[in-house]
Every structure is written in structure tokens, then in C-alpha cells.
């Protein structure tokens, strides 16, 4: 690291658990963030500020005025612009040293497999079950850790699904892909703005720990936040030995 980097990341380097070695791991890391909205905004911003070397943002939507209540990577002036491009501008303003690739596209399974293969960690910041399951399948197949978050109304949840740990569940173990779950949209149900910041920041924290290999992750645990009463609940999540996605990897 050069003198500028030593100064920029000095508060990380002061932490015994991170130090110069941990910060260098971040500088060399590649993160894939799928979704540049409410969760993806704070998650990607913290990844960039922490010094992750390369961040790929994937989102095919455009910035809308209704997004600005909670999607903090975007500004009023960027209404109508692609979210991925808008977020890229924000990340580069935060940390010009972080390389950011903005993909304005809806990725299919083949494209997901390609992008996941290039990443060291994947953050699912999307808002529908079909995409979450597609991302999960790609991460299981690519043996890459997945940090998954969700928020609606006053409720949030977060977990890590790490196929590298053979005894831990994947997303489909918890929410089977052959069951019907109703997608609930913010546009119809609403969402309390700070909660996406809380969960998105936690996604970044889990991703950074995974990249540096420090601490314990949320793999095997689901944390749920009741934002109205500000109460966290943590439950253990076991692996489904009959899961059609990850059982073959056991």
C-alpha cells in the first residue's frame, strides 16, 4: 500500500483483526452487488469506502423520484438515469481507487454464472424470489459466499449462505424454490427508509468479514429485525439434506 492508502484505511489498519494484511485482502477483492436500490446503495457504498478493489453493480432499472426516500446512492439530478450508472458515480466519488463496473442489464442464469465466477463474494440486494433463487443457484454452483438481505415495511432480515461450509444451508434450504412465495413490492406495501440502510450496511459488514477471513459469519443463522419495536431475533437455520440446489454438494 502507498502512503495515501495507509492514511485512507488507517482506522481499519488500527484494528488488530484487520491490520495491513486484512486491508490488502480487501484491495485485491472483487464483490458482485446485484441490485442498486435500497439495500444495494448502502452496501456498495460501504464496500467502496472500505477499499474493496473491484465492485460490479448489476441493475436494469432507472432512478425514480419514489426511490430517493431510501436509495441513498442516487440524487434528484439523476432521476431517469440507470441505477447502476448512478451508483457507480457515487462510489467513485467516495473512493476513486475502487474500480466499479456498472451493468445495466437483467442477467439470466448463464450471465449470473459468469459474473459469480469472477467474484469473491456476492451480495443479493434484490426484491423478488425468482432472482434470489437464481443468484443462490449460481453461488452454490460457483462455490461463492452469498450475503442476502431483504426489507419490507418495518421488517428486515439478513443471512449468509456459504457453500464452502459443507454443513451450512443455502437460500433454497430456507425458502424452497418449488414453493410459492408472494413477492411483496415496496410500491404497494411501503418501506421504512432507515431499515434498508441498517440491513444494507450489515450486508457490507458480512461481506467484508468474509473477504478478510475475520470473525464469524451469519452462515446458518437468520437475523430478523422488527424495526417498529427495534428488536432483533436470531434463529438457527439447518441444511435441508433433500435440497435440490445444494444437497449434491454435501
Q: Residues 59, 83: contact at Cβ < 8 Å? A: yes
Residue with cell 472483487: 30
- What is the 3-class SS of the chain, one letter each residue? CCHHHHHHCHHHHCCCCCHHHHHHHHHCCEEEEECCCCCHHHHHHHHHHHCCCEEEEECCCECCHHHHHCCCCCCHHHCCCEHHHHHHHHHHHHCCCCEEEEECCCCCHHHHHHHHHHCCEEEECCCCHHHHHHHHHHHHHHCCCEEEEEEEECEEEEEEECCCCCCCCCHHHHCCCCCCCCCCCHHHHCECHHHHHHHHHHHHHHHHHHHHCCCCCCECEEEEEECCCCEEEEEECCCCCCCCCCHHHC
Residue with cell 436509495: 71
CA distance 71 to 42: 8
Positions marked active-site: 186
Amino acid at each position: 500500500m502507498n502512503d495515501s492508502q495507509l492514511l485512507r484505511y488507517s482506522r481499519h489498519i488500527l484494528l488488530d483483526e484487520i491490520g495491513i494484511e486484512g486491508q490488502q485482502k480487501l484491495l485485491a477483492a472483487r464483490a458482485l452487488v446485484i441490485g442498486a436500490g435500497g439495500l444495494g446503495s448502502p452496501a456498495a457504498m460501504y464496500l467502496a469506502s472500505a477499499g474493496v478493489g473491484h465492485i460490479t453493480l448489476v441493475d436494469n432499472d432507472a432512478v425514480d423520484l419514489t426511490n430517493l426516500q431510501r436509495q441513498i446512492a442516487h440524487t434528484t439530478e439523476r432521476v431517469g438515469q440507470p441505477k447502476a450508472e448512478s451508483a457507480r458515480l457515487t462510489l467513485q466519488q467516495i473512493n476513486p481507487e475502487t474500480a466499479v463496473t456498472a451493468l445495466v442489464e437483467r442477467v439470466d442464469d448463464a450471465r449470473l454464472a459468469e459474473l459469480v465466477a469472477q467474484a469473491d463474494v456476492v451480495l443479493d440486494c434484490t426484491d423478488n424470489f425468482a432472482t434470489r433463487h437464481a443468484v443462490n443457484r449460481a453461488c452454490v454452483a460457483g462455490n461463492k459466499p452469498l450475503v442476502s438481505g431483504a426489507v419490507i415495511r418495518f421488517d428486515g432480515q439478513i443471512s449468509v449462505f456459504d457453500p464452502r461450509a459443507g454443513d451450512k444451508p443455502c437460500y433454497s434450504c430456507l425458502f424452497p424454490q418449488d414453493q410459492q412465495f408472494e413477492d411483496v413490492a415496496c410500491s404497494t406495501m411501503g418501506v421504512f427508509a432507515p431499515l434498508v440502510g441498517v440491513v444494507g450496511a450489515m450486508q457490507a459488514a458480512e461481506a467484508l468479514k468474509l473477504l478478510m477471513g475475520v470473525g464469524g459469519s451469519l452462515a446458518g443463522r437468520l437475523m430478523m429485525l422488527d424495526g417498529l419495536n427495534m428488536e432483533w431475533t436470531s434463529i438457527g437455520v439447518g441444511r435441508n439434506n433433500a435440497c435440490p440446489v445444494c444437497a449434491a454438494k454435501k
